[in-house]
A and B are shown apart, each in its own frame.
Chain A
Amino acid sequence: MKADEPSLARLMAMAQAGDKLAYATLLGECQRWLRSFFGRRVAPGQLDDLVQETLLALHQKLATWDSARAFLPWLAAIARYRWVDHLRRVYRADETELADEMAGADEEPAIAARISLERLFALLPDAQVRAIELVKIEGLSVSEASRACGQSESLIKVNIHRGLKKLTAMIEKA
C-alpha cells in the first residue's frame, strides 16, 4: 500500500483502537519513512538503532496522536525529538569510514520539506551545523573536527552545545 498521509492516519486510528494488523502495517510503513527521514543526518551504523528507538517511542506515546490532526507532523516531531536526543548521546570517534559510506547513499528523502531535519539545521548558524555534523554525525573527535573546520576545540564544544540546545527548542516550531 502507499504510505500517504490519509492511509497512515487511518491505520493509526485503527491501531489506537487495538487493531494489530493495522498496527503491523503502520509500523512497517513508519520504519521505511523513518529511514528516509533520518537520511544523512545520522551515521549509517546508527541508523537502525535510531529507527528502532523511534518506533519504540511511537509505541509508548501512541495515545498522544490526535485523530483530528495529520499523522506525519506527529511522527516527525517524535522522530526529531529522538534524533536530537540521539545526537546528544552519541559520540563515536571510531567511525572513520563514515564519510565514504555516506557518499554512496545519496538518495533524497521523499518527505515534505516542512517537517524535514534539513529545515531544523537551516535555522542554525553554519559553524554550529558544521560542528554537530563533524563530531555527532561523522564521528570525529573534537580535535579532529577542529583541524577539519578551523574552529578551536573550545569553540567546537560551544557550538555543539548551543546548536543542540537550539535544535531542542525548535523541534516542533521549525
Chain B
Amino acid sequence: MSRDTTNSTGALIAQLVDGLEPVRPLRFSSGMGFALAGLGVTLATVALMFGVRPDVLAGRFDPVFLLATGLFLLLGLASAVTVIVMSRPRVGSDHGGWVWAAATTALLPAAAAIIGLGRGKDAISATSVEHGLDCLTMGSGLALMTFAVLVWWLRRGAPTSPERAGLLTGVAAGSFGIFAFSFHCIYSDIVHIGLWHSAVVVVSAAIGQIVVPPIIRW
C-alpha cells in the first residue's frame, strides 16, 4: 500500500468521521407500518371516491371475491415484506418467499383461462372488456400509493438487487391496488378477476422493473 493511497483513504475516513450524525436504524416494523398505512389510504380512497360494493356492505361475501381478494392481499403482503427486507442488505438472505404467493395467485388467471375456454366467445364481450379495462386502469392508479411508499423506503435503504426490488415493488403495489379496488368492483366472475384483476399486477410489476431500478440505485 503506497503512502498516497494510505493518505487519501485516511483523509476520506477523517471526512466521514467528521460528518457523522446519529442515525435511526431502518426498522422492519417501520417499513411495514408505512406499507400498511399506504394500503389503508388506498382502501379509504376506494371507499370514499368509488364506494364499496353492496353485498360486502351488507355483510354477504361471494366465495370467488373472498378467495381472489385474499390471494391478492397475501401476494401484496409477501412482496411488500420482501421489499422491506431487501432494503437492509445482508449476505445470506434469500428473498424468495414471495414466489410461492405469486404461484398461488397465478391460479386465478389459470382458472380464468380454463373457464374462459369453456365459455368460448361468450367469455369476452365488448361490455366485459370495457369493465375489465376500468378495473385495469383504476387498479393500476390505486397502486401508485404503495408504489410511492416502497420506492421511498428503498431509497432510504440499500437494495443490492435493484431490478428484483423494482419488480417486487410493482407486484406489491399492483396487488394492493387491485385488492382495494376489488371492494368496489361488483364482478365476482372468475374470468373477469383472473384476466383483468391479475393484469393489474402484471402491468404494475413490469412498470416497477423498468422504472424503479434507476431511482433506487446507490
Contact = CB atoms under 8 A, between A and B. Distances in A.
Chain B binding surface SS class: loop
A64 B88 contact: yes
Given A18-B21, A114-B91, A56 B218 contact: no
Interface in A42-62: 48, 51-52, 55-57, 59-62
Interface residues of A, number: 43
Interface string B1-44: 10001001100111011111111111110000000000000000
A17 B89 contact: no
A78 B89 contact: yes
Contact of B24 (A24, A56, A63, A76): A63
A28 B164 contact: no
Interface residues on B, range: 35 or more
Interface string B203-218: 0000000000000001
A48 B1 CA distance: 9
Nearest to A62: B23
A65 interface: yes
Given A63-B26, A80-B160, A172 B9 contact: no
Residue of B16, B17, B87, B90 with most chain A CB atoms under a 10 A cut-off: B90
Interface of A: 15-18, 20, 23-24, 27-28, 31, 35, 48, 51-52, 55-57, 59-67, 69-70, 73-74, 76-78, 80-81, 114-115, 168-169, 171-174
Interface of B: 1, 5, 8-9, 12-14, 16-28, 87-96, 156-158, 160-161, 163-164, 218
